Amino acid sequence: MLKKAIHFLIREPDEIGFDNYLILGLSLLSAILGLLGVIINLTLRLSWFTTLTTVVVTLVFTIIYLLCRIRQKFTISKYIMIILSLAILNVQWFINYGSTGPIIYLFVIIESFIILLFEKREKFIFTLVVIVNISILFFIEYRHPALIGHYSENSARLWDLYFGALIYLSLTILLLQVAMSFYFRQNEKVKLADKLKSAFLANMSHEIRTPMNGILGFAGLLKRPNLTGELQKEYISIIEKSGIRMLNILNDIIDISKIESGLMTVSITETNINEQIGYIGAFFQPEAEEKGIDFSYKCLLQAEETIILTDREKIYAILMNLVKNAIKYTDEGSVELGYEKKGGHLEFYIQDTGIGIPKDKINTIFDRFVQVDLVDKMLRQGAGLGLSISKAYIDILGGHIRVESEEGQGSTFYFTIPYTFVPKSENAQNN
């Protein structure tokens, strides 16, 4: 329960990035510590101005936290937080007893976050600002000690320093723990990526070699004299299938390269969704029948409602990949393809009664080069790029993909795309 609550409040570094995670965590922690500071100030009966300032600080950091958590405004919040924190510490220096109080600890914490949050240029500028800022404060305190307040009792000073030290230690431990955790997690990801790339290269050499051997081998058989017409057709058919398979692999590699390099473009045209569903259905029907699988598809919208503006080729590629996977991983039962309109989106679903996906693999199936059935990978051939390419296309089109699955029971993939309807009259004019 506690883990879920923490995840809800500050998410995970992998989800929003380490920088954003720190901003979110720091703003929430500052708001909580600010509230604690208000309670401590009231308990120690410090000046009303000190207490009021702490209240304002708490409210400001709460607003920054909500701005990041709800609006995802991380970049602007990062600069606001550091500048505002420095301004607040300057005020606190004078009203919270200068170098004799705990404020100096917080300058160190601010510098730690500057080191982690900013790149070289900004890091140098803000570090210089912090050093100059502290130097000026010490100089003012040295030349004009009357500007700095004094604790009414030594016990109040000791308690204030004690709580300040606790806050400093807590923030330091938390910061180091988060940084170490993120580092180890990233290190594991790098190791996993290396393993996946090695597995991909090994798999890819097999994937390319197999159809290539088929092409060369059966091309050689065609040279034999006295071949019957039936054998020639069979050999040519095998050569064609091998060529198509190798072409699909090469296309996947090219597509993933374009996606990685940011060169993938979107071509928005009028697309008839029902026609695409019907074509996909007709294309995979023979393969499903050959495996003894019941394959069906549903088109729920009326004909005049199915012409939308989207990237036709990407929708086709997504549906091809998902249906192909559903049939490939289903040995018996059924596969169903369909869609329905939900608000401003179309939601497609591909449901199968196949092998399903283990719970510990669901979060990785959209990663590059990953195949769920690692044990059975030689039986169910594939480069492990289809789902990754599909997810990238869906993201480019402004949609979302998710999966519900139970191992041994089957899977259902859902994905959405924006529904930009083309009225019939407008469509007729264009034609």
154-180 confidence digits (pLDDT tens): 887 888 888 878 877 877 787 777 777
Would you state the pLDDT for residue 84? 83
392, 262 contact by CB (below 8 A): no
Topology adopted by domain 269-430: Heat Shock Protein 90 (3.30.565)
Q: What is the mean pLDDT of residues 136-159?
A: 85
**Pairing between strand 307-310 and 334-342?**
unpaired
Equal CATH topology for 205-261 and 269-430: no
Exposure of 264 in the CB half-sphere (CA atoms within 13 A): 23
Confirm if 318 and 394 have CB atoms less than 8 A apart.
Answer: yes
All structural domains of the chain with their residue ranges: 2-150, 205-261, 269-430
CB atoms within 10 A of CB 365: 20
How many other C-beta atoms are found inside a 10 Å radius of the C-beta of residue 33?
A: 20
Please give the Cα distance from 78 to 64 (Å, whole number).
Answer: 9
Residue 189 clears pLDDT 80, i.e. is over it: no
Q: What does the buried/exposed string (b/e) look like for 241-260 if buried means 16 or more CB atoms within 10 Å of the residue's CB?
A: ebeebbebbeebeebbeebe
What's the confidence (pLDDT) of residue 379?
A: 42
Q: Regarding the domain delimited by 205-261, which CATH topology (the fold level of the hierarchy) does it fall under? A: Helix Hairpins (1.10.287)
- Give the span between the Cα atoms of 142 and 145, in whole angstroms: 6
Region 328-353: mean pLDDT is 91
Indicate the pTM of the whole model.
0.54
Give the Å distances, CA to CA, from 419 to 50, 350, 416.
55, 19, 9
Residue 223 φ/ψ, nearest 5 degrees: -75, -15
Residue 99 DSSP code: G
- The CA–CA distances, whole Å, from 285 to 271, 351, 361, 379, 412 equal 22, 15, 29, 21, 19
pLDDT value at residue 250: 82
In this prediction, residues 302-320 reach a mean pLDDT of 86
CA 74 to chain centre: 16
10 Å Cβ neighbour count for 350?
26
pLDDT at 380 over 50: no
Answer for the pair 235, 409: CB distance below 8 angstroms, yes or no.
Answer: no
Cα separation, 274 vs 283, in Å, equals 14
Q: How many CB atoms lie within 10 A of CB 340?
A: 12
